[in-house]
Structure 1
Amino acid sequence: MYKVLVANRDEYDTKGIEWLLKSSMNAWQVESAQNESGLIKKLETFQPDLLIFELDLINEESYDSFLKTTQIIGPDLIALTMEATFSQAKRAIDMGVSDLILKPISADILLKSARKIHRRNQMISRTAEQNFSKKAEKDFNYQDLFIEESDSAQPLVSIGIKSKNPLELPELFKFLESYTFQKAVHYFILSDMILIIAEKSDVAWKEESLRFMRDWQETSAEQIAISIYTGKEDSGTVRSHYLANRKLMEVTFYRGFNQIIEDSSLPKWLSIDPFLTPEEQSRWIDFLNQSDLEALKSWFYEEFLTLADPYPEPGLIRIRLTSILAQIRRHMKTFRLADGDMEKEYLRLFQTILYSPLIYQVINEMISFISYIFETIRSDKKLKLELTDRVLFFIETNYWDPKVTLERAAEYADRNPNYISSMLAKKCGKSFRELLNETRIRQSAKLLIESEISIKEIASVCGFRNQQYFNKVFSKIKGMPPNQFRKIMHKTSV
C-alpha cells in the first residue's frame, strides 16, 4: 500500500489535504502530523512513501534531525509554502524536494504532483523486478546506488542517459531494453535519468553512445544527453559511478541536450554569490521603472548566456534568478498586478526557475513575463496608481539619484509641484524631502546591516551628495550615527 504523510501546522489545511487524497486515491493510506516533533516521530513509525509538508514547519533546531530521518527512510517530498522567495526555494532545493507548491493550495496541482511521483515509483518498482535476474548475476541492485561499499569496488564503466522531458523516460527505457550493445549492460531507471553499468573492456563506449543517440533520434523527437564515466582509478563502486554521472548531467543546464558528456569534463563548480548586489538592485529598479526591455535582454545575455566552464553550481544560479524575480514581484505590487492571470503567470515562472532543465528556457520565459508586465502597465498606467502612489513610487525608484527634486516628481506625476507638496502634506503628513530622506535612510540601514561596504559608499548609492549630510540625516531619523547603528545591529545578529 502506498503511504502518504501530511504535515502542516494548520489543522484545517491538514484535514483538507487528507480528505482530498483519501477521496481521490482510495488505495492510499494517509496519516498526518501537526508539529515538528510529531512529524519526526511519525516518519519513524509510519515510514511513508510520500511526505507532503509545510516548509516552515521545519525550523533550524529540527532541520538536521528531519534531514537525517528523511535520508534514512527515503520518502519523496512535496513542500508547501506561502512565500515565493529565493530563501524558501533554496531550503527546498537543499532538502531535495520533488516539488514546491505555493499556498493557497490548488487541489489539481497537488493531486497531479502526488500522482506523478506515485506513477514514477511504480515504474521504478516494475523495472527493478523485470531486471532483477539480469542484475543478480553481477550482484547489481538499486541499493548499490545509495550505499557505498568499498569491498565491492571493481573495474566499471557507466553511462547516464537523460531525457529533456522526464515523462519520456518510460519510452526511452523501452527502447533501451530492446537495444543491443557490444557488451552486456545493467540498467537502473531513476526519476530523471537512466544509468547503465558495464564491466570495463575494450569497447569504444563513446562510439556506442553516439550510435545509440542516432538510433534514438530516428524514432523520437525527444532530446537526450548521454554521459560517460570511466573513473580515475582502475576500480569503482556503483555509487561512485552514479554520483559522477549525475554531476556530469548537471552540465546540460548550460550546454543543452543532444550531446555526449565525458568524464574529462567532470564539472568543478565556480563559487558565486547568488544574490544581487546593491548596485545590481539599483540597476534592476532602473530597468523596470523605465520599462527598458532591451537593456534587460542585454543584461540577461551577459550575465547568464555567456557562461563557460567552470560553471557556477546550477542551484546557485536558480537562487540568483529568484533574487531577480523578487525585484519583479516588487514592481508588480507597486502597480497592483499581483493577482488574477498575472499572478498565475508569476507562480508558473517561479516553478520554471526551480525545475526547468535548461537555463536559456528560464531566461526566455523571464523576458517574456517582464514584457507582459510592461505591456500591461503601458496600456493602463494612469489607472494603476493613484496620484499619491505615483509620487511614492517615483521616490522608491529614484531615491539613489542625488538630483531628485519635487519638480521632477511633479513632472513624473503630471501635476503642479505646489499641488504635489500640498497633497503629500495632507495624505502623508510629511513633505516631499522628508519622504525622500526616510526612503534613503531605510535603504541605507538595510545596506549597513546586510553588506560590508563603507559608509561613504552607502551614502553615495543612497543618493546623498556627501557623508556629512548623510550622517546628520541618519542620526536625526534613527537616533544614532550610522557607524554606531551598524555595530549595534551586527552585535544583535550575532
Structure 2
Amino acid sequence: MATLLIADRDPYERTGLNWLIHSYGLPFDRVLLAESAMALIEHIETSQPEIICMELDMVPKELWERTKAVLRQYRPVVLVMTAEATFERALQGIELHAWDLWVKPLSPDQIRRVLSRLSRRAQEAKANPAVSAAGEARQAGITYRSLFLPGESAGRDLELMLLQLENTAKHPLLLSFLEEYPFRQMPVLLPLSDLIVCIFPQMKENSLVDLTLAGKRLLADWESASAEPLSLIIYTSTDQELTLHQKYLYAKQALEIRFFRGYRQISVVEDRMDWLMIDPFLTPAEQRTWIGMLNDADKQKIKGWMYQEFLNRGEPYPEPGLLRIRLTSILAQIRRYMLSFCMGDLRLEEKYHRVFETILYTPILYRIVQELLLFVFEVLEVANSKQEHVRTDVVEQAIRYMEEHFHEPDLRLEDVAAHVDRSPAYFSALLSKKMGTSFRQLLTSMRIKEAERLLMTGKLTVQEVAERAGFGNSNYFSKVFKEKTGTTPRSLRNRK
C-alpha cells in the first residue's frame, strides 16, 4: 500500500483529513502529518511518501525553491490546498505539477474520490514500474494525425477504447474524469466533438482481458460520480497490418451498437463490425398486415409485431440506418391511415413530425419503438372517436381493398367499386382524377411490384411467380413484365 503525507499549518485540518481517511477505510499503510514546510521537506526525504496533500500557504518564499526541488527529485503525486482561490495560487500548483487543487473548505466526497483513485494508482505503479515506463515510451508520437490520416501510424499492438456520453456537451467533464482516473497504464486521450478516444498499448497476451476489466471498473466509477449515461466500446483486432486510422474507423462504426444495447453498457468488439443487411422497406404482405392491424385497432398485435421485429433481435444486428428506414416505412402506413380518416388535427400533425425526427436522430432503438407505439395508439384513439362522424376516403378504401386482393386473377373494377359502394363508372373517374391512373394500370403496377419482390427474394419458377402475383397466364405475365420493367422475369431472377 501507499504512504500519504498531510502537510498543513492548521492542526484541525490535519486531524480532520486524517480522520476522514481512516473513517473511509482508504488503503494507505501510513499517514504522516507535517505542521511546517521544513517538516514537509524532512518527511519527503526520509519517508518518501507516494502521495502528498500540502497547503500552499504554509510554504514561505525562502523555502519555495527548495520545496520544488525536493518534489522534483522524489516525484510524489502532489495535491495542493489553499484558502485563497486566486490565479497566483493556481500558478503555484502548476509549478509543482500538482494533480489537483483543493480550495478550502474541502469536500469530503472529493477527498475520498481523489485519494481512493490515487492510492490504487500508486499501488499499481509500484507493482508494475516496468509496464508504466514501457507504456509511456510506446505511446510517444500518437496524435490526431495518427488517428485521421491513413498510413500515418501503424496500429500494431494498440487497442482502442471509445467513450461517448448521450449528452456530448458534457464531454469536458468526462475528459477531466479520465485525466484523473487511475488507469494501470495511462492511455493517450484524444477528445473529439462527439466522443473521446483512449489508445492503450497491448502489453501482454491477456491485455484485452485486463482492458475489459478496466473498462467495467471505469464505467462503474463514472456512474457513481455522474448521472450522465455513458457508452463504452473496446476495440481490438487480430489483423496486425491495420493502421491506427483503420482501427479508429472500425471502432467508431462499432460504437453504433449502443443503438441496440443502450447506454451504461460496455461492448468488446474484435475485428470489423459486420452488420446484417436487410430489406428496409415493408413488403406488400407486411403492408397488408399493418393495414389490417390499424383497421382493427389491435393494439396488442401492433405492440407484439413491433417488439418481435425490432426489440427481440440478437447478433448479428441489422445496420442501424436500415432499421431507421424500416421504421419510417411503418410511419408512412400510419400516415396513410390518418389520411383515410381525414385527421387534420394540428396537434396530431406536430406529433407526427416529432416522431419522424425521433426515428431519424434518437440514438437508442428502444426509445424510438416506445415513441412510435405511443403515437400509433393515440392515432387509433382519435380514429375511433371520429369513425362514426367522418366518412373515409373512397379511393383510399378501394386501394386498400386492391392491395389485399390483387393476387386474385379475376379481380375486376366492378368488384372494387362494389366494395366501396359506388358505380364502376363513377369510381373509375374518381380514381383517375385523384391518382392520375386507371384501375387496370394501378392493378398491373401492384402485381408487377409483387412479382419483382418474389423474383428477387424467392426460388419460385416464373409460372409460380405469375400465379402468386395475380397473372393467370405466364406468357402474358412475361410480356407485361418486360413492357413495364424493360427486362424479362427470368433475366431479373438470374441477375439476383
C-alpha distance in 2 between matches for 1:228 and 1:387: 54
Alignment partner of 1:251: what SS? Answer: helix
| Structure 1: tracts of 5 or more residues without a match | 1-133, 414-419, 472-479
Q: Could you say which residue in structure 2 is the equivalent of 1:166?
A: 168
Q: Distance in 2 between matches of 1:373 and 1:405?
A: 33
Cα deviation, 1:104-161, whole Å, max 9, x if unaligned, reads xxxxxxxxxxxxxxxxxxxxxxxxxxxxxx9998223223222112664442222111
- State how far apart, in whole Å, the 1-side matches of 2:223 and 2:317 are: 28
* Alignment pair present for 1:447 and 2:450: yes
Aligned equivalents of 1:234 and 1:266: distance in 2?
13
How far apart are the structure 2 equivalents of 1:487 and 1:296? Answer: 38
Cα shift at 1:201: 2.4
Distance 2:145 2:391 in 1: 59
Q: Does 1:380 align with 2:362?
A: no
- What residue number does 1:197 align with? 199
Give the structure 1 partner of residue 329 of structure 2: 323
Deviations 1:365-423 (A, max 9, x none): 1111111111111111244435745754663564458699999999997xxxxxx345x
The residue number in structure 1 matching 2:231 is 225
For residue 366 of structure 1, the aligned residue among 356, 368, 372 is 372
Please tell me whether the aligned partners of residues 159 and 195 of structure 1 are also in contact (alpha carbons under 8 angstroms). Answer: yes
- TM-score when scaled to structure 2? 0.58
Aligned to 1:357: 363
**2-side partners of 1:325 and 1:139: how far apart?**
50
Match in the other structure for 1:262: 268
In structure 1, the partner of 2:277 is 271
Q: Letter of the aligned partner of 1:226 in structure 2?
A: L
Give SS of 2:251's match: helix
What whole-Å deviation, never above 9, does each CA across 1:87-115 have from its counterpart, x for those lacking one? xxxxxxxxxxxxxxxxxxxxxxxxxxxxx
1:114 matched to which residue of 2? none
Looking at structure 1, the residues matched to 306 and 183 of structure 2 have their Cα atoms a distance apart, in angstroms, of 43
Is 1:484 matched up with 2:479?
yes
Query: Per the alignment, do residues 391 and 234 of structure 1 end up closer, same or farther by CA in structure 2, a change over 3 Å counting?
Result: closer
Q: How much has 1:435 moved relative to structure 2? A: 8.7
CA drift of 1:318 comes to 1.8
Q: What is the CA-CA distance between 1:218 and the residue it aligns to?
A: 0.9
Code of the aligned partner of 1:440: L
1:436, 1:382 → 2: CA distance?
29
1:172-187 superposed matches below 5 A: 172-187=174-189
Count of aligned pairs between the two proteins: 340
Which has the larger displacement, 208-217 or 324-333?
324-333
| Alpha carbons 1:159, 1:196 under 8 Å: kept | yes
Q: Distance in 2 between matches of 1:167 and 1:376?
A: 39
Shift of the 198–388 alpha-carbon distance from structure 1 to 2, 3 Å rule, reads closer
C-alpha offsets along residues 290-334 of structure 1, whole Å, 9 cap, x if unaligned?
222221212112222221112222222222222222222222222
Checking the alignment, whether the CA contact within 8 Å between 1:164 and 1:224 is kept in structure 2 is: yes
Asked if 1 retains the 8 angstrom alpha-carbon contact of 2:232 and 2:265, the reply is yes
SS at match of 1:467: coil
With structure 1 as the length reference, what TM-score do the two structures score? 0.58
C-alpha distance 377-405 of structure 1, shift in aligned 2 (>3 A): farther
Matches within 5 A, 1:65-84: none
Query: Deviation string for 1:220-260 (max 9, x for gaps)?
Result: 22222222223314575331331232132222222222222
Q: Does 1:246 align with 2:252?
A: yes
| Alpha-carbon distance, 1:446 to partner | 3.5
- In 2, the alpha carbon distance for the partners of 1:390 and 1:230 equals 54
CA distance 1:290–1:314, shift in 2 (3 Å): same
Structure 1 pair 396–376 and aligned structure 2 pair: CA distance change class (3 A): farther
Match of 1:297 among 272, 292, 303: 303
Structure 1 residue 306 corresponds to structure 2 residue 301: no
Contact 1:187 1:195 in 2 (8 A): yes
Question: Do 1:284 and 1:327's aligned partners in 2 also have CA atoms closer than 8 Å?
Answer: yes
Q: 1:270 offset after TM fit, Å? A: 2.0
Which letter maps to 2:309?
E
CA separation in 2, counterparts of 1:427 and 1:230?
A: 64
Task: Call closer, same or farther: CA 1:492–1:315 in 2, change over 3 Å.
Answer: same
Work out whether residues 395 and 436 of structure 1, in 8 Å CA contact, stay in contact via their aligned partners in 2: no
Q: Which residue of 2 aligns with 1:285?
A: 291
Q: Aligned residue for 2:133? A: none
Equivalences for residues 87-166 of structure 1 within 5 A: 138-149=140-151, 152-166=154-168
**Closer, same or farther in 2 for the Cα pair 1:239/1:384, shift >3 Å?**
farther
Relative to 1, partners in 2 of residues 1:387 and 1:341: Cα closer, same or farther, differing over 3 Å? closer
Q: Is the 8 A contact 2:250 2:273 kept in 1?
A: no
Q: 2:340 aligns with which of 305, 328, 334?
A: 334
Partner Cα distance (1:264, 1:317) in 2: 23
1:156–1:235 CA contact under 8 A, matched in 2: no
**How far did residue 449 of structure 1 move?**
5.8
Kindly indicate whether the alpha-carbon contact (under 8 Å) linking 1:399 and 1:436 is maintained by their aligned counterparts in 2: no
CA distance in 2, matches of 1:247, 1:410: 52
What SS does the aligned partner of 1:250 have? helix
Residues of 1 paired with 2:167 and 2:223: CA distance?
15
Same amino acid, percent of matched pairs? 31
Secondary structure of the residue that 1:180 maps to in structure 2?
A: coil
Distance 1:137 1:358, change over 3 A: closer
Separation in 1 of the partners of 2:448 and 2:398? 19
Q: Would you say the 8 A contact 1:449–1:489 is kept in 2?
A: no
Q: What is the alpha-carbon distance in structure 1 between the residues aligned to residue 341 and residue 222 of structure 2?
A: 49
Q: Distance in 2 between matches of 1:411 and 1:484?
A: 30
Instruction: Assess if the C-alpha contact under 8 Å between 1:142 and 1:188 holds in 2.
Output: yes
The code of the aligned residue for 2:484 comes to M
- After superposition, the Cα gap between the structure-2 partners of 1:222 and 1:232, relative to the gap in structure 1 and judged at 3 Å, is same
Which residue of 1 is the match for residue 16 of structure 2? none
Which residue type is aligned with residue 370 of structure 2? N
